[in-house]
């Protein structure tokens, strides 16, 4: 069995994977790894993870060098023998990462959205990029809707966002605010941030971005432009809010949610999203394998948090009960704490998705480390609305049972399994993506 096959099997199973310096080749010339794709990842997070990996491998004088091309850089280190080791990072948008894999100009694609079906088909010669070992969620991000700091609006819903960015709503007065004409700011067409916004806000409602929007390749430049324009509004990855003002978002019947770390970690916030590395199964680059393993490690997730994104490290959080919650859920929140992870499922399936499979290990580690294996854990399932409420209740409990089956294998004895049907939606049920978000399982600990 090859090292790569063993690595992928361990990664799929959620087992910790480390690669020692002696396993990683350092050729005399040329980069050891080429990463292309998302600007959200490539601007800072990707290079920081590469630097962390290099230091863990014992490389010296680790630093980044910026060539003449914007949004590109080299991360450089030296071996003990003085040999230069380079990793190239190009951050021109998620789509460019998949194109680079196809053209064999990258070893790893960074993406701030899931791979599209058309890309999956175009890259099938590299193996199944939707397989658990290939599709790696490295962090959670939230798209923040940003305004000028003095804009009095504090809340918008996704329907309003679609009207604003399509140009149908032209003045702030139409939204109950003031200031005259609305000025739109958006990321460029290659950006995964734009792809995500287009998918979850515009396309879902049959709308397109107004051509008058000012477009930016740089997240930082977009945010700074909005913060200087009293009539401006834009969308941005969470770490790039900077001096602008983020507003609370409502989707369908969900509660208004600010882009808070806890709501993004659970992916309840309406504009939360996953950040990915895509590792071609048929690739042969051990540095790509090692970077993925490092990104999933506790050290890698600490770097994720340090760069302003949401790490997948499991923590317990108190939930304040309110009148909008079912009585049973209020009672639960008074006596237990919720973990910062939700289990979600593949579309149209009761099968845990790739992130959920990785989260099984994280949740199990938390339960063991905090000695909660014996009747101190409750699973709570939710679903999307059905014509028959009893069916929604049943399906929500069956989803919780699917998670229970996996954790019972590792010796966890549960206190209770609950199903709340279609109550407490976190997204609109009018589109597949919203229904998928609503089909979720929460973990509570006593």
What is the per-residue pLDDT across 304-341, written as a single tens digit (0 to 9) for each?
999 989 999 999 999 999 998 999 999 999 999 999 99
pLDDT at 18: 47
Whether 181 and 2 have beta carbons less than 8 Å apart is answered as: no
pLDDT at 4: 52
The ranges of the chain with pLDDT < 70 are 1-22, 348
Superfamily the domain 142-263 falls into:
Periplasmic binding protein-like II (3.40.190.10)
pLDDT at 1: 44
Ramachandran class of 85: left when φ > 0, alpha when ψ lies in -120 to 50, beta otherwise: beta
The answer for residues whose C-beta is within 8 angstroms of residue 186's C-beta and 6 or more apart is 165, 194, 197, 209, 213, 214, 215, 216, 222, 234, 235
Superfamily the domain 3-134+279-306 falls into:
Periplasmic binding protein-like II (3.40.190.10)
Judge whether 3-134+279-306 and 142-263 match in fold. Answer: yes
**CATH class of the domain at 314-445:** alpha beta
Bridge partners of 245, per DSSP, are 147
pLDDT at 109: 98
pLDDT at 12: 47
Domains of the chain: which residue ranges? Answer: 3-134+279-306, 142-263, 314-445
């Amino acid at each position: 069995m090859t090292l790569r096959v063993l690595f992928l099997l361990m990664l799929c199973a959620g087992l910790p994977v480390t690669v020692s310096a002696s396993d990683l080749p350092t050729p005399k010339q040329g980069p050891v790894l080429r990463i292309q794709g998302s600007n959200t990842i490539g601007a800072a997070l990707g290079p920081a993870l590469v630097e962390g990996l290099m230091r863990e491998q014992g490389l010296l004088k680790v630093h980044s060098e910026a060539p003449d091309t914007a949004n590109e850089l080299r991360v450089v280190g030296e071996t003990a023998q003085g040999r230069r080791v380079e990793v190239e990072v190009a951050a021109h948008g998620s789509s460019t990462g998949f194109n680079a894999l196809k053209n064999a100009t990258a070893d790893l694609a960074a993406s701030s959205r899931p791979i599209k079906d058309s890309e999956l088909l175009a890259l099938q010669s590299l193996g199944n990029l939707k397989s658990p070992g290939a599709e790696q969620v490295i962090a959670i991000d939230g798209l923040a809707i940003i305004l000028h700091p003095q804009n009095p609006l504090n809340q918008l819903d996704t329907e309003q966002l679609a009207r604003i960015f399509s140009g149908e709503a032209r003045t702030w007065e139409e939204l109950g605010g003031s200031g005259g004409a609305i000025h739109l700011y958006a990321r460029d067409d290659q950006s995964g941030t734009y792809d995500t916004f287009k998918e979850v806000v515009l396309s879902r409602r049959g709308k397109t971005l107004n051509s008058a929007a000012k477009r930016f390749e740089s997240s930082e430049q977009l945010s700074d432009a909005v913060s200087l324009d009293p009539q401006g509004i834009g969308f941005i990855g969470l770490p790039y809010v900077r001096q602008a003002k983020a507003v609370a978002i409502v989707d369908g019947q969900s509660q208004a949610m600010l882009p808070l770390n806890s709501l993004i970690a659970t992916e309840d916030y309406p504009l939360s999203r996953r950040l990915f590395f895509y590792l071609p199964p048929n690739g042969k680059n051990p540095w790509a394998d090692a970077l993925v393993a490092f990104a999933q490690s506790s050290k890698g997730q600490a770097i994720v948090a340090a760069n302003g994104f949401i790490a997948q490290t499991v923590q317990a959080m108190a939930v304040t009960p309110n009148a909008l919650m079912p009585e049973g859920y209020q009672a639960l929140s008074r006596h237990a704490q919720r973990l910062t992870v939700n289990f979600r499922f593949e579309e149209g399936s009761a099968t845990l998705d790739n992130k959920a499979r990785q989260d099984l290990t994280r949740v199990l580690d938390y339960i063991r480390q905090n000695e909660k294996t014996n009747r101190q854990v409750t699973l709570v399932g939710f679903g999307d609305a059905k014509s028959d409420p009893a069916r929604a209740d049943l399906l929500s409990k069956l989803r919780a049972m699917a998670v229970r089956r996996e954790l019972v294998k590792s010796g966890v004895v549960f206190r209770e399994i609950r199903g709340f049907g279609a109550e407490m939606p976190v997204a609109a049920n009018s589109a597949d993506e919203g229904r998928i978000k609503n089909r979720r399982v929460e973990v509570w600990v006593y």
